[in-house]
Every structure is written in structure tokens, then in C-alpha cells.
Amino acid sequence: MRFGLLAFPLALFVVNAAGAAAEKAPPPYTLTEVWTPIPPVVATPVGSVPSDAIVLFDGTDLDAWEPVQPNGHPWRIEDGAMVVIPTPAPARPCDQQTKRAFGDIQLHAEFRTPAVVKGNGQDRGNSGVFFMGLYELQILDSTNNPTYVNGQSGSVYKEHAPLVDASRGPGEWQVYDAIFIAPRFSADGKLLSPARITAFQNGVLVQFNVALTGPTPNGPTYNLPKLPPYEAHAAKLPLLLQDHRTPVSFRNIWVRELNLPDTKS
């Protein structure tokens, strides 16, 4: 009888200890919760740029830019906009590039084709944003202006037509928001992964994670029967805006450098 009295408290202790352990065990759903590393904070004030953005043009000066040609002329600032000063043919156009080099970036740029319509096809309101100076997101006055679809506004020039035509009319400000992922090369110059672009025009998706076959054709490569192949280049190169002999305007240009893992595709 005494043995039974001793055994009962012991059994009760074991049961209580097991119950306490069960209570301390985390709920199963917590096994999928990740707490570190904590993402960095980026402030996004209304009416301003993200806190980690690099402002390339805010309407006040051209300090972040330089002519691509050593003896080239800078563009002009007019009413807070950077405006192309068209270079008459046959002189070589005077593109502008950033003094700073970039790789993977998020880009915001606002642009406007001339309100007075002149020319047609590729000769109307033509310019472009060249990531790394090599990979072009096309700018064109595409309103009632038939041309090849992989050369209209919103296209990755000569490589990818836009998903939709989201263009506004001539003289209206438009917006590009884009993600550019630079190509990766091995130490011996072999292509590991191609450049990729996702782009929104005026808030509408026009390119989704498209892979580029190489630099977009421009200048001497314009009439090649095949698109130019990749050639190994630096991991970071300047951003370029094109002088296509049309007074296209730009404003509110900024980028965010992206720290993304290398992935092969």
C-alpha cells in the first residue's frame, strides 16, 4: 500500500513534466518562419526618391553626365528637363553617358518626345536608354507611327517587341521603370548568363524578364543580318542616353544598385 502511494506522485510528476515539455515545443507553423537576415530599410517618402537611390538628374545640373565623344557637346537643361541637342548628319550623334558605372539596377526615367511631330517611323521622337551602353530600351513617338514592332517604344531594340503599346502622345511626359540584370561572364570570357530586362512603361508591363541575345544592334551593327553576339565586358559600365537627332527630353532619372545573387540560366 505504501508503494502505491509513492508511485502515484512519481507518475504524476512524469506526466506533468511531459506536458510542460509539450507546451514549450514551438507550434509546427513556426518551422517555416525565417527571422534573419533582416532586410535593410529603404525609406520611400511621398514625392521623393527612395533613400538608397542614386539621383542622376533632378533638373538642376548635368554633373552626373558626360558626352560619350571626347570632343562632344553636353545637352541643355530647359524647364528642369535634360534635352537632346540633335547633332546634324553626317556628324556622329552625341550620346550622353553617366560618369558612374553600373551593373544590376532598378531604373526610373521620365521622357518626352517632341510635341511638334516631324518625320515618321524611326525618324520620329527617337532616343533610347542603353544599359551598360550596350542594351537598349527603345524610346520612340509610336502614336500613329507604324514601324517594325521590335523597334517601337517599349521594345528592347531589335530583340523584343513590347507586350503592349502603352505609349502616350507626342509632347506628353512618360515613365520607364525597369529592372536590368547584367550578363555574367566567366574568367575566360564565356557567357554564363545573358542580360535580362523587365520594364514598365507608364505603369504598364511591357517587358517581362526577357533574355537578350547580345548587345542590341546600333550604329555600325545596325544592318547586320544577325544580331551582335556577346563579348565579355566589365561587370559595371555607364548608363547611356541616345542622341538620335531628335530633341527628346528627360527628367527625374535615378537608379538603385541591386545586390542580387549570381544565377546561371
Please give the pLDDT value at position 25.
85
Answer whether residue 226 shows pLDDT above 70.
yes
Please give the pLDDT value at position 264.
47
Could you report the per-residue pLDDT of 131-158, keeping only the tens digit for each? 999 999 999 999 999 999 999 999 999 9
Answer whether residue 12 shows pLDDT above 60.
no
What are 219's three cell numbers?
550604329
Could you report the per-residue pLDDT of 227-265, keeping only the tens digit for each? 899 999 999 999 999 999 999 999 999 999 999 876 544
Contact 18, 12 (CB under 8 A): no
- Tell me the Cα Rg of the chain: 28
What are 222's three cell numbers?
545596325
Please give the pLDDT value at position 217.
87
Please give the pLDDT value at position 227.
86
- What is the maximal distance between C-alpha atoms in the chain? 114
Binning pLDDT at 50, 70 and 90, where does residue 18 land?
Answer: low
CATH of domain 54-257: 2.60.120.560
Q: Which of 87-96, 102-111, 222-231 has the lowest mean pLDDT?
A: 222-231
Angstrom CA distances, 36 to 33, 39, 40, 239, stand at 10, 8, 11, 34
Q: Where are the domains of the chain?
A: 2-32, 54-257
Mean predicted confidence (pLDDT) in 83-111: 95
How far apart are the C-alpha atoms of 264 and 248, rounded to whole Å?
37
What are 232's three cell numbers?
565579355
Question: Nearest Cα to 236, choosing from 104, 80, 139?
Answer: 104
What would the DSSP string read from start to end of 17-78?
HHHHHHHHSPPGGGGG----SPPPP----TTS--TT-EEEE-SS--TTEEESSTTPPP-EEE
**Which residues have CB under 8 Å from 134's CB, separation 6+?**
215, 216, 233, 237
What percent of the chain has pLDDT above 90?
78
Please give the pLDDT value at position 6.
53
Answer whether residue 26 shows pLDDT above 90.
no
Please give the pLDDT value at position 4.
55
First-residue to last-residue Cα distance in the chain: 76
Please give the pLDDT value at position 91.
87
Answer whether residue 59 shows pLDDT above 50.
yes
Please give the pLDDT value at position 128.
98
Cα dihedral 110, 115, 116, 119 sign: positive
Binning pLDDT at 50, 70 and 90, where does residue 89 land?
Answer: confident
What percent of the chain has pLDDT above 70?
88
How far apart are the C-alpha atoms of 246 and 84, rounded to whole Å?
7
Could you report the per-residue pLDDT of 156-170, keeping only the tens digit for each? 999 999 999 999 999
Q: Which of 128-142, 169-183, 206-220 has the lowest mean pLDDT?
A: 206-220
Contact 74, 63 (CB under 8 A): no
Instruction: Give the alpha-carbon dihedral of 202, 208, 213, 218, to 10 degrees.
Output: 0
